[in-house]
Amino acid sequence: MAKENTEVDAERETRTERTRAGDPTDTAPDQLISTDPGREGVAEQDDEPSGATETVIEAHGLDVYYGETRALDDVTIEIPSNRVTAMIGPSGCGKSTFLRCINRMNDLIDVARVEGDLLFDGVDVYADDVDPVALRRHVGMVFQHPNPFPKSIYDNVAYGLRVQGDTDDLDGRVEQALRRAALWEEVSDRLDDSALDLSGGQQQRLCIARAIAVDPAVILMDEPASALDPIATSKIEDLIDELAESYTVVIVTHNMQQAARISDRTAVFLTGGELVEVGPTREIFEDPEEDRVEDYITGKFG
């Protein structure tokens, strides 16, 4: 286990250097290598207003309508890079809707209408010249139910690279993605087996591997552990923790303990698609400014 972690760390540093040298959009190199992998250090930095990382996603006055129904109401939020930002709130509060705005998955719903500004890396995601297909190559997504394709384990991880026509060293990158998703040890000897033969937890880690294989900047997770048993859930949570060192993670969860365990920042949505409060996770859970948030956190509401 210790050996495996070392390998993962080595790969992460390799990637970080590549990112630093080659990708000018990723402008937070000082935060990418953390000498102390513990999350506490990061969270403390986050508590200081000036210690936050670069904002990678920001919404201003974002409204979403499904037909006549308003699903998001004037949402304004900034999401820092290389942090885990959790979206919590009761069912139907709009947290998943917000997530699906970021990679324009709402485009697939005919009746959905988005108003307001949503910037990814400073670019308006809903501008006319933005191609959602290109956007989604930088914003990966992991869904509530594991949804591997009915193909081999290998082909699942390679799928994103193949549709993007980026097939140099496919074997190596498939292995790297599987290692990062902490699945390599379990599947390395049966990459040609159907992905549907894996357990639910393994399938979900495979979906995470599939999402990170294309090396996105942001990973969106829509209740990624809600269909899993507690052991599989804890593996996913450990994984999210590690992913945040290389990626910006935005996770929707209805499990407040989970949000408290894994996130650096938490956004609380309440009924009607209203973003009530957003801030460092510790403040939200220990001393929220809004009474409604405190009521929700303590279980008086929702």
Partner 1 sequence: MNDARGEMDLSGDRGFQDVRESVYHVVLLACAVVSVLTTIGIVYSLAAPSVAFFAEVSAAEFFTATEFNVNIQPITFGVLPLAFGTIIVTVGAAAVALPLGLLTAIYLSEYADSRTRAVLKPMLEVLAGIPTVVYGYFALVYVTPFLDGVLPVELNTFNVLSASLVMGVMIVPMVSSISEDSMSAVPDTLRQGAYGLGATKFKVSTRVVVPAAVSGIASSYILAISRAVGETMIVVVAAGNLPNFPSGPGDVLPKFFEQTQTMTAAMVEVLTSEIGGGTVAYRSVFAIGLTLFGMTFALNLVSDFVAERYREEYD
Report CA-CA distances (Å) from 61 to 78, 99, 119: 12, 15, 12
Strand, coil or helix: 110: coil
Residue 207 touches partner 1, criterion: CB under 8 A: yes
CA proximity to 218, closest of 244, 237, 186: 244
**Member of 173, 210, 235, 265 binding partner 1 (CB under 8 A):** 210
Looking at beta carbons only, is 110 or 128 nearer to partner 1? Answer: 110
Residue nearer to partner 1 on the CB measure, 82 or 103 = 103
> Which listed range, 23-31, 37-45, 148-156, 179-187, lies at the site for partner 1 (CB under 8 A)?
148-156
Q: Which residues contact 18 (CB under 8 A, 6 or more apart)?
A: none
199-215: string of b/e by CB count within 10 Å (b at 16+)? eebbbbbbbbbbbbbbb
Q: Which is nearer to partner 1, 138 or 282 (CB)?
A: 138
The one among 163, 192, 272, 291 contacting partner 1 by CB under 8 A = 163
Interface with partner 1, residue 136, by CB under 8 A: yes
Q: Which residues pair with 55 in a beta bridge?
A: 80
Return the number of the residue (220 or 270) whose C-beta is nearest partner 1. Answer: 220
CA angle 41, 46, 50 (to 5 degrees): 120
Name which of 220 and 276 has its Cβ closer to partner 1.
220
Only segment of 59-67, 80-88, 176-184, 208-216 that touches partner 1 (CB under 8 A): 208-216
Q: Can you say whether residue 67 is alpha, beta or left, with left for phi > 0 and alpha for psi between -120 and 50 degrees? A: left
Rounded Cα distance, 127 and 117, in Å: 9
Q: Which member of 12, 137, 205, 265 binds partner 1 (CB under 8 A)?
A: 137
Site for partner 1, rule CB under 8 A = 103, 105, 108, 110, 133-134, 136-137, 140-141, 143, 145, 147-151, 159-160, 162-164, 196, 207, 210-211, 214
